Structure 1
Amino acid sequence: MIHLPDRAVLRLSGEDARSWLANLVTCDIAGLKPGGGRWGALLTPQGKILFDFLATTDEDGRLYLDTDRTRAGDFAKRLNFYRLRAKVAVEDLSEGWSVHAALPPGIAPEAGAIAFADPRHPGLGQRILLPEAGVVDEAAMAAYHARRISLGIPEGGKDFAFGDTFPHEALMDMLDGVDFKKGCYVGQEVVSRMQHRGTARTRIVPVTATSSLPATGAEIRIGDKPAGTLGSSAGSHGLALLRLDRVEEGADKGKVLATGEIGLAVVKPDWWRAGALDHKVSA
């Protein structure tokens, strides 16, 4: 079990909690059951990701949101802003709870834990929320993120900027972070229009390099034109936020995709849907 110290827990309870949250966020909360999970986000009215989270529920119907620790307090405040007269209690459990991952085949969680399958990819195993402090193991945490990166799964704050990224750019449309059949939610009109028109030109994609990759935020170019930025990486494997139209145009002209002097190749994950990445830089 791998403690993830950069994650925190919010808990929502009350008779209106499920229906109220469902009207705010991108994912299907109504169908959530104990042991199951959802990836979702609370968006700005303009359709950009303010907060993302992994959601689950317990046998008593309380909702648990596994979210970025540095933004958990602001997330709780924003949810309370929307609460109005709804019968909902929002608790920030950052100080008392810890978030863990258990890579496949997973483990039998201890008593008192809230465990659920990571909804983004089976290869990420389980998420386990514990009402106690966790112990940091840097090597285990690095192994977890290496697995996440190899699977092409982005994470907010590492691979995309909160407040400046559309769900399609963060692959939420492909990884079931958006339910396009559910009712309205904050920012829904913009997201639905992008889905209908297919206008997402910028996306996070896995890349491999000819050597170890530089720090997060490094510029990526195709020939002499800017093409995007590097997100998280593990050795020569990383995730990059790229303008795919520029990458394709440059590749058609024989230009090289690179960050600094390090050459890059785009890798299409096995879960990637047809259309994007069907260009000459795909590995």
Structure 2
Amino acid sequence: MLAKHLLRSNSSLLFKQSLLKPTLARSFVSSPTSHFQEKDELHKGDHYTPVPGRSLLELEGPETAKFLQGLMTNHMPKISPGGDGFYAAFLTPPGRMLYDTFIYPVNVGVNFPHPKFIIDCPSATKTTFLRHLKRYILRAKVKVRDCSEEYKLWHIWGPALNKEDPALVKKEKRFSDIGCMDPRIPGFGYRAVLPADQDVQHILPASGQFEALHEEEYTIRRMLQGLPEGPDDLWPEVSLPLESNFDYMNGVDFRKGCYVGQELTIRTFHTGVVRKRIVPVQLYNKDEGSPSIQKVDRNAVWPSVLEPQSDIKLVDGTSKRGVGKFCSGVHNIGLALMRLEHIQNDEKLFTSVKDESVRLRPFLPEWWTEEKL
């Protein structure tokens, strides 16, 4: 399994160079599940769980699509006629991360008679996000309100789900009126926004035998796959969208017109390289051997002593500068922003806790590889 993640010596340079280059906003895989693999036995099969740590805002009005088009990284005409939602980032004017979001059309009729959208955003920054939106509304014909109590956000995945039409464009083929196939990794699952009093089981495909899991399993599953979410992973006014893999996760449309924060993002895409990216990591004790595959230990508690943006350094001390920063974690797994050259070399790394006892192993996500080799 490890050979699938790491590069053989005769191709390592080419692969490393390809990793440094930003990519167009399109997934790396040609089919919904061609490279997706579950990393944990518990996650195999058909499952559903609430999505933790997210809030929902409603935007409505005749100028809503135009308003959002100027504020975020994706292209509103993709979803303004209705149908599935998409993934997008809101940036500062200099191009740093503010909020990671999913934006869903509220499908209120065949002809989608008036623009209404639900934004799925981090709960931890909901208040500042509302303030951010209202700051830009000015005289635009847009109304925004918090609708978190009216809806519940669900994540659904499994083989039965992937047998359904992945486009889910027509109303009769969507699982819910508000939602989307998660665009970050094809095959990762479906994200559904349901009325708070609606039972999620009513929308599940009849061909599957779906089992409920605790909401923590959503966090474990996305971290094993290397998906950042929320301000602990995507540091407001610090993180860059391409280092945060928004180009890999279909969250940036490089062909759209002006939006807040566009200049640095486009310049990096056209002329620069991305030397750091967020990747999944596994933590282990310094007395243990470095893990060769990702495996979650639900009894482990190491990340409780690690803060977001904690430095990651080389054990041998050959470099005084850090080689990465820890994002967030659960049990013995997490995410980290790593310099790419240190992901390849199997170097021993530690996080900057007092006794340097926590070691860290980064992994390349399998879903990165198909168009990179």
Matched, 1:117 2:181: yes
| Identical aligned residues as a percent | 33
* 1:235-282 deviation line (CA, Å, top 9, x unaligned): 44321112335x379x4xx85223333443332122326899x9xxxx
Q: Tell me the equivalent position of 1:127.
A: 191
Q: Tell me the equivalent position of 1:43.
A: 91
Matched, 1:203 2:277: yes
SS at match of 1:214: helix
SS at match of 2:216: helix
Range that drifts further, 78-87 or 223-232: 223-232
Unaligned stretches of 5+ in structure 1? 279-283
Residue of 64, 69, 73 corresponding to 1:17: 64
Q: Distance in 2 between matches of 1:112 and 1:168?
A: 31
Residue of 100, 124, 128 corresponding to 1:52: 100
Does the C-alpha gap of structure 1 residues 134 and 142 become closer, same or farther in structure 2, counting only changes over 3 Å? farther
* 1:106-150 deviation line (CA, Å, top 9, x unaligned): 599999862321121234312122332799xx9611211111111
1:171 Cα offset (Å): 0.7
Q: How many residues align?
A: 271
Matched, 1:191 2:265: yes
Normalised TM-score (structure 2): 0.64
Q: Distance in 1 between matches of 2:175 and 2:271?
A: 48
Range that drifts further, 6-15 or 84-93: 84-93
* 1:199-258 deviation line (CA, Å, top 9, x unaligned): 33222112234455533434321232322222233444321112335x379x4xx85223
Q: Distance in 1 between matches of 2:255 and 2:282?
A: 35
1:35 Cα offset (Å): 4.4
Q: Tell me the equivalent position of 2:146.
A: 92
Q: Tell me the equivalent position of 2:328.
A: 232
On the 8 A contact 1:109/1:128 being kept in 2, the answer is: no
Q: Tell me the equivalent position of 1:267.
A: 363
1:132-281 equivalences in 2 (<5 Å): 132=196, 140-210=214-284, 212=300, 213-215=302-304, 216-217=306-307, 218-223=310-315, 224=317, 225=320, 226-245=322-341, 247=342, 251=345, 255-259=347-351, 260-272=356-368
Q: Distance in 1 between matches of 2:280 and 2:233?
A: 11
Alpha carbon RMSD of aligned pairs, Å? 3.2
Normalised TM-score (structure 1): 0.83
1:49-88 equivalences in 2 (<5 Å): 49-60=97-108, 61-88=115-142
On the 8 A contact 2:277/2:338 being kept in 1, the answer is: yes
Q: Distance in 1 between matches of 2:217 and 2:370?
A: 30
* 1:126-181 deviation line (CA, Å, top 9, x unaligned): 2122332799xx96112111111111111122322112111012110111111101
SS at match of 1:140: coil
The amino acid of 2:77's aligned partner reads: A
SS at match of 1:10: strand
Does the C-alpha gap of structure 1 residues 40 and 151 become closer, same or farther in structure 2, counting only changes over 3 Å? same
On the 8 A contact 2:94/2:261 being kept in 1, the answer is: yes
Q: Which has the higher strand share?
A: 1
On the 8 A contact 1:8/1:97 being kept in 2, the answer is: no
Q: Distance in 1 between matches of 2:151 and 2:126?
A: 12
Range that drifts further, 165-174 or 92-101: 92-101
The structure, 1 or 2, with the larger RCO (C-alpha pairs under 8 Å, 6+ apart) is 2
Does the C-alpha gap of structure 1 residues 273 and 179 become closer, same or farther in structure 2, counting only changes over 3 Å? farther
Does the C-alpha gap of structure 1 residues 46 and 187 become closer, same or farther in structure 2, counting only changes over 3 Å? same
Range that drifts further, 36-45 or 55-64: 55-64
The amino acid of 1:214's aligned partner reads: P
Does the C-alpha gap of structure 1 residues 205 and 5 become closer, same or farther in structure 2, counting only changes over 3 Å? closer
Q: Distance in 1 between matches of 2:193 and 2:127?
A: 18
Larger radius of gyration between Structure 1 and Structure 2: 2
On the 8 A contact 1:5/1:134 being kept in 2, the answer is: no
Q: Tell me the equivalent position of 1:30.
A: 77
